[in-house]
Structure 1
Amino acid sequence: MDSGEEIEGVEAQRKKKRYHRHTPRQIQELEAVFKECPHPDEKQRMQLSRELSLEPRQIKFWFQNRRTQMKAQHERADNCSLRAENDKIRCENIAIREALKKIMCPTCGSPPVAEDSYFDEQKLRMENARLKEELDRVSTIASKYLGRPITQLPPVQPIPVSSLDLSVGGYGGVQSGLGPSLDLLPGSSSSAMQLGYPSAVSEMEKPIFAELATNAIEELIRMAQTDQPLWIKPGGDGIDVLNLETYERIFSRPGRQYKSPDTRVEASRDSTHVFMNAETIVEMFIDPMKWAEFFSTIVSRARIIEVLTGGIGGTRSGSLVLMHEELQVLSPVVSKREFIFLRYFQQIEQGLWAIADVSVNVSAECQFTTPSRSRKLPSGCLIHEMPNGYSKVTWVEHMEIEDESSTHNMYRDLVESGAAFGAQRWLATLQRMCERFACLMVVGTTQDDIGGGVVPSPEGKRSMMKLAQRMMNNFCTSLSASNGHQWTSLSGLNEVGVRVSVHKSTDPGQPNGVVLSAATSFWLPVPSDIVFSFFKDERTRSQWDVLSNGNTVQEVAHIANGSHPGNCISLLRAFNASQNNMLILQESCTDASGSLVVYAPVDLQGINVVMSGEDPSYVPLLPSGFAIVPDGRAGGASTSSNPMTGSLITVQFQILVSSLPSAKLSAESVNTVNNLISATVQQIKAGLNCSSV
């Protein structure tokens, strides 16, 4: 080695020695002083230097950097606020222009005309003939749906001009008032009205849809409040199953006798108490972004196609919207279910709401068409507000399913038993998410938050929960084919094989470049709660985490997320010298319908942002993890007391294969992730003593 190389080596070591990372305690103390005094004088800096064992120059530079960071945050917040205000004004202008086009004369019900406009007799005759043909055509459609012509239908109330604020703000243009607990969901509400698209519903179809919605909510209320003989409990497990003969006798309708012989009916009912008031639940149902994020394990995509009627008297009661949604099971081998349906809100009395969904067919020229032959029969929930902030929710799911041939046989028992998309799964998710937000609102630290490391401040706790929620949503979305990328099968591993997909990531909060997602599903003869504990426990992580190289991990921060001890958010430190600048953010959650363990590496800079309570929206995340569900063979959730049941496990990895969005996927990257996922599955089976499966 020559002298030049020796000098470079010495300089490199000197620079490395100068680099210093503050401890969490030092950062916490500095943040506390910064909140009180962003510009400490020399005396204060000297005192901090002695207390924190830091050089005065380090203290000075830390405060300079922190002030610069705070200034940048304020500028970013101001820019976001201005953009949001600009978008709001733009939406209001569009809505007002659309409303002006639909203003009707209060005397004759016709559009306003200028004083010099006129129609001659021949034009009036031609217009009358066209309207008569349109009326005859829609009457035929009405007879098919309702059994009587359009002339017998009651008129539908138009949207009043006063509902403009409701449609622009409440339906999505701005935050819809879900209260402080629900702003944990990342991002602001998207425009639910989808302004700028042509109307999907003609004026003649609106009375038909209004009648369908009214009938649906009447049927829903009767189904929710009627017990035997409409609902029976054949399994002895307390699950309500619909008596189809009784249902057909009570709710007979024209055309049902012509349904396909391959049609399968799924119908279930369940009820529970959740810690959330009725109006907040209603607001969540009417905002498609919050609906999809609240039920991210079930709803892969949702949007409002059109707002048909607004609420009455400034409330949501009477609101009728046309929606599109896709439902999923967290596995690449289960068919998604896609619906276009009406959602109707009605306040029956003070503190009692009904929300009904029912599928409809829209015009062929509408861009929101679905190839799925599944239909929602009247479904939904009754929400009864209880004392002390609780609500009793009774949920009814009723669907006709015709084609799910692409669902793998491994999941067929789960799907056909109704557990995959039934009322029990919706309510279990609702209850768990309500507990999550209740934990967010707890001021200070609870006993459940105390782990073996740092206890986050209230601001840090909120920031950490917000980041974890984004991580969970990203994981669920990446397992769905709804985000524009399709799964490609690779041979090997098991009967399912490894499925891979590639997409270009440019969204804030995700690493820019080409992201490769790889997933597989497999069955194990182990109860799902045991599998969940195996993945969640940091002491057994080295048994399945191939990338840990056998190193152990330690929990350095902990946030309880619900009544079950498995529902929590953790920061983990891996004892790996090559990755001492990285921590692992992990959220685990479990309920009666299944479990999730999702994690993502986060560098120390991102962790400092989270712990200081700042907005974590731009902290990059690329989550991986596991989805665990009972196999459905025993007709219910598997437990350690029922060892005959097994588990269906989906494992997914996301890897940034290139930081260039224009890069092409190489065969080497595919082989690497294929080997990674195969090795992980083998280690899971070995760790759970199932190597022979």
Structure 2
Amino acid sequence: MFQPNMFESPHLLDMAHKTPENELEIIRDMDEFESKSGTDIMEAPSGDDQEDPNQRPRKKQYHRHTQHQTQEMEFFFKECPHPDDKQRKDLGRRLGLEPLQVKFWFQNKRTQMKAQHERHENSQLRTENEKLRAENIRYKEALSNATCPNCGGPAAIGEMSFDEQHLRIENVRLREEIDRISGIAAKYVGKPMISYPYGTPRSLDLGIGNFGTQTGLVGDLYGAGDILRSVSGPTEADKPLIIELAVTAMEEVIRMAQAGEPLWMPSPDNSTEILSEDEYLRTFPRGIGPKPLGLKSEASRESAVVIMNHVNLVEILMDVKQWTSVFSGIVSRAVTLEVLSTGVAGNYNGALQVMTAEFQVPSPLVPTRENYFVRYCKQHADGTWAVVDVSLDNLRPSAISRCRRRPSGCLIQELPNGYSKVIWVEHVEVDDRAVHNIYRPLVNSGLAFGAKRWVATLDRQCERLASAMANNIPAGDVGVITTPEGRKSMMKLAERMVLSFCAGVGASTTHMWTTLSGSGADDVRVMTRKSMDDPGRPPGIVLSAATSFWLPVPPKRVFDFLRDENSRSEWDILSNGGLVQEMAHIANGRDPGNSVSLLRVNSANSSQSNMLILQESCTDTTGSYVIYAPVDIVAMNMVLNGGDPEYVSLLPSGFAILPVGPTHHGGGIQEAGSGESLLTVAFQILVDSVPTAKLSLGSVATVNSLIKCTVETIKSSVGGENA
């Protein structure tokens, strides 16, 4: 039977009154001690004094420390609060104090710090206790006003389960919190937040049927309540603005993902969809403000069915490390600045994060796009999850942005057998005038940064992850790999190689590279950095060179030529004319071009030892990569036996192949299209194994010559006379 005081906890409520009197006295004594900056020492009585009981005890003497002595001991205390005998003697000798004086000072200091810490904890407990008292009062008041969902009359609490009681109470609390935040937001933005739709009454009206889906009034608000559960943010003034933007962006992305004409219109050749800007402004009058002068709009939408369940997809998108890893070809850098809400019920439902990210095309000729935005994740009534982004540039004073992210994101719908349907919406406003002319058609088409590239990358990476998690060795895998552990270690090493390549091939300004002048060619970017403590890189000076150029050849032909071990000796100086043999092969998806290989180069010169090369090739409808790195034979044997690949040194080089623009059949690398390609070539080479050495101009000239020679060889091998 329900008791009126079921929410009260006498032990919890009395917690603040448990401080003993002697503890308070210690605190007062410590305050007095702090003001004196000295040490009290009681001198021990001598043997004669002990024999005479009538002898008056010697008076306690107080030794005042100088400011210098106190400062020195304070500094030492920060480093070592518990000095041993030797340290006390050394410190006392340096400061002109007895070891006993030093010992007593440190004892008193530790007591003081403990008392201050306990006083701070008591203050926190007292504050938390007051919050619990107020919450208990709200709970009881809400329960006393509860109504029966069937008849509308007063509810007998015994008729409801505890979960139902808690949800009803929680709904009241969320309404109060939303009203409070709405009032704050109105002061800053001059308008209230989203009102309750459909005239929802103010009473406790959650139906019993809503409890299973965790929806109801909060769901009608596109999840604003979930944000407010644990919101804490940059400033009090920014919180309501961020919440309003996130909730509005969630509503906008859902509608844009599901809308048809007239919002989305087919292109003249029916190959893509085009967003009608006039219809967009009429449909979504609220937003992040008008388009700034000098920026142009880019909007795209794409959908696909991927081999991953919805829970894992949401986790990838909300975990910045996984997100950067999966989309390494698109995201060159990403940081979560602050987590405003971690979500509820042990998942990301209601999670809210303030982030910054830099988006790239794998070429030094295309500037990166940097965004400062909020990311909001929400589970909706039909089981669909949505993850949306929207720029927060208006919260940064005097911020001049070259790229602004209007509400963008994806809807994830669960399908049987571990599959998910993803609908992706990408909508930005950007100044792309710095893009090189040969990449401008690709960028203008949306294949460079648009939804098609995000979805194609996600689809390919989902297949790769599914392959990596396989517990058995598929029949398509051949070679020296004999155990599932060895297979996983080799794939993990290849993943690190791809991440390292993508991080150094783009035009990001945040990488630890220094551009050198006088490289000898305007279209070749040469950079250097010192590698010292990174276990995944050999120590010394590492030189990187990258260039991009146009080829009058279909992308698929270039990709097949570069990944084929039989044609490798035509362009790879490492092979030195030797025979290249594939020792291991791991298939990474439906396309035969997606694979990880271990190649052995049999030197044509009998006096030279053979060499191993780790290579990963990957392709999708928007681009492809061939990335490789020489590996040590001993280290690679350890990896093939299932060892940790993190400490294997890698210096990846390779190629990024992109179409010049979309084809009439949807665009991408699989179709011949216009028969033109954009190829980026990048090398990372250790030029000196001594990190303190200075880079010579001869090393720069050698690397520059290497990359130009490789480019000319590829042009002559696959480009024909027109290259």
TM-score (normalised: structure 2): 0.68
Question: Residue 569 in 1 paired to residue 596 in 2?
Answer: yes
- Quote the offset at 1:249 in angstroms: 1.4
8 A Cα contact 2:295 2:429, kept in partner? yes
Q: Give the secondary structure class of the aligned counterpart of 1:610.
A: helix
**Cα distance in 2, alignment partners of residues 459 and 501 from structure 1:** 37
**Cα distance in 1, alignment partners of residues 464 and 651 from structure 2:** 22
Distance 1:160 1:222, change over 3 A: closer
Distance 1:262 1:226, change over 3 A: same
Aligned to 1:302: 334
**Cα distance in 1, alignment partners of residues 382 and 375 from structure 2:** 20
- Quote the offset at 1:201 in angstroms: 1.5
Q: Give the secondary structure class of the aligned counterpart of 1:670.
A: helix
Distance 1:99 1:390, change over 3 A: farther
* 1:477-515 residue CA offsets vs partner (Å, 9 max, x unmatched): 11233223254465666xx61101111223121111211
Question: Residue 627 in 1 paired to residue 656 in 2?
Answer: yes
Q: Give the secondary structure class of the aligned counterpart of 2:131.
A: coil
Question: Residue 515 in 1 paired to residue 545 in 2?
Answer: no
Distance 1:632 1:475, change over 3 A: same
**Cα distance in 1, alignment partners of residues 466 and 319 from structure 2:** 20
8 A Cα contact 1:311 1:319, kept in partner? yes
Question: Residue 221 in 1 paired to residue 244 in 2?
Answer: no
Counterpart of 2:261, as a letter, is Q
- Quote the offset at 1:333 in angstroms: 1.3
8 A Cα contact 2:527 2:543, kept in partner? yes
Aligned to 1:431: 459
Select which of 527, 541, 549 maps to 2:576.
549
**Cα distance in 2, alignment partners of residues 410 and 323 from structure 1:** 32
* 1:131-162 residue CA offsets vs partner (Å, 9 max, x unmatched): xxxx999766423xxxx16899999769899x
Counterpart of 1:202, as a letter, is T
Between 641-650 and 604-613, the greater mean CA deviation after superposition = 641-650
**Cα distance in 2, alignment partners of residues 554 and 500 from structure 1:** 31
Counterpart of 2:292, as a letter, is S
Select which of 602, 607, 610 maps to 2:636.
607
Question: Residue 249 in 1 paired to residue 282 in 2?
Answer: yes
Question: Residue 585 in 1 paired to residue 614 in 2?
Answer: yes
- Quote the offset at 1:621 in angstroms: 0.4
Question: Residue 536 in 1 paired to residue 566 in 2?
Answer: no
Between 551-560 and 540-549, the greater mean CA deviation after superposition = 540-549
Counterpart of 1:422, as a letter, is G
8 A Cα contact 1:542 1:548, kept in partner? yes
Q: Give the secondary structure class of the aligned counterpart of 1:284.
A: helix
**Cα distance in 2, alignment partners of residues 97 and 252 from structure 1:** 50
Q: Give the secondary structure class of the aligned counterpart of 1:429.
A: helix
Aligned to 1:106: 131
Unaligned runs of 5+ in 1: 1-95, 111-134, 168-198
Question: Residue 483 in 1 paired to residue 518 in 2?
Answer: no
- Quote the offset at 1:457 in angstroms: 1.6
Please list, as runs of the form range in 1=range in 2, the aligned pairs for 1:403-414 lying within 5 A after superposition. Answer: 403-414=431-442
Q: Percent identity?
A: 48
**Cα distance in 2, alignment partners of residues 529 and 490 from structure 1:** 35
Distance 1:332 1:278, change over 3 A: same
* 1:347-372 residue CA offsets vs partner (Å, 9 max, x unmatched): 0036410111100137558xxx9753
**Cα distance in 1, alignment partners of residues 496 and 717 from structure 2:** 30
- Quote the offset at 1:247 in angstroms: 1.1
Please list, as runs of the form range in 1=range in 2, the aligned pairs for 1:44-123 lying within 5 A after superposition. Answer: 105-106=130-131
Select which of 234, 245, 263 maps to 2:267.
234
8 A Cα contact 2:513 2:527, kept in partner? yes
Distance 1:151 1:518, change over 3 A: closer
Between 674-683 and 302-311, the greater mean CA deviation after superposition = 302-311
- Quote the offset at 1:104 in angstroms: 8.9
Select which of 165, 189, 212 maps to 1:142.
189
Aligned to 1:669: 699
**Cα distance in 2, alignment partners of residues 680 and 103 from structure 1:** 67
**Cα distance in 1, alignment partners of residues 195 and 411 from structure 2:** 30
* 1:297-347 residue CA offsets vs partner (Å, 9 max, x unmatched): 100111111111231233211111101111000111110000111111110
Q: Give the secondary structure class of the aligned counterpart of 1:548.
A: coil
Q: Report the count of equivalent residues.
A: 527
Aligned to 2:102: none
- Quote the offset at 1:557 in angstroms: 0.7
Distance 1:490 1:251, change over 3 A: farther
Aligned to 2:5: none
Aligned to 1:65: none
**Cα distance in 2, alignment partners of residues 630 and 304 from structure 1:** 32
8 A Cα contact 1:272 1:427, kept in partner? yes
Select which of 446, 454, 457 maps to 2:480.
454
Rg bigger for which structure?
2
- Quote the offset at 1:630 in angstroms: 0.3
Distance 1:594 1:151, change over 3 A: closer
TM-score (normalised: structure 1): 0.71
Aligned to 1:353: 385
- Quote the offset at 1:444 in angstroms: 2.2
**Cα distance in 1, alignment partners of residues 688 and 643 from structure 2:** 29
**Cα distance in 2, alignment partners of residues 424 and 473 from structure 1:** 21
Distance 1:585 1:239, change over 3 A: same
Counterpart of 1:459, as a letter, is E
- Quote the offset at 1:407 in angstroms: 1.9
Select which of 418, 430, 445 maps to 1:417.
445
Aligned to 2:499: 473
Question: Residue 681 in 1 paired to residue 711 in 2?
Answer: yes
8 A Cα contact 1:530 1:640, kept in partner? no
8 A Cα contact 2:624 2:669, kept in partner? no
Q: Give the secondary structure class of the aligned counterpart of 1:448.
A: coil
Distance 1:316 1:677, change over 3 A: same
Aligned to 2:110: none
8 A Cα contact 2:602 2:610, kept in partner? no
Question: Residue 595 in 1 paired to residue 628 in 2?
Answer: no
**Cα distance in 2, alignment partners of residues 641 and 383 from structure 1:** 28
- Quote the offset at 1:448 in angstroms: 1.6
- Quote the offset at 1:204 in angstroms: 2.1
- Quote the offset at 1:652 in angstroms: 0.4
**Cα distance in 1, alignment partners of residues 132 and 414 from structure 2:** 43
Distance 1:391 1:157, change over 3 A: closer
Counterpart of 2:653, as a letter, is S
8 A Cα contact 1:534 1:540, kept in partner? yes
Aligned to 1:390: 419
Q: Give the secondary structure class of the aligned counterpart of 1:529.
A: helix
Distance 1:396 1:97, change over 3 A: farther
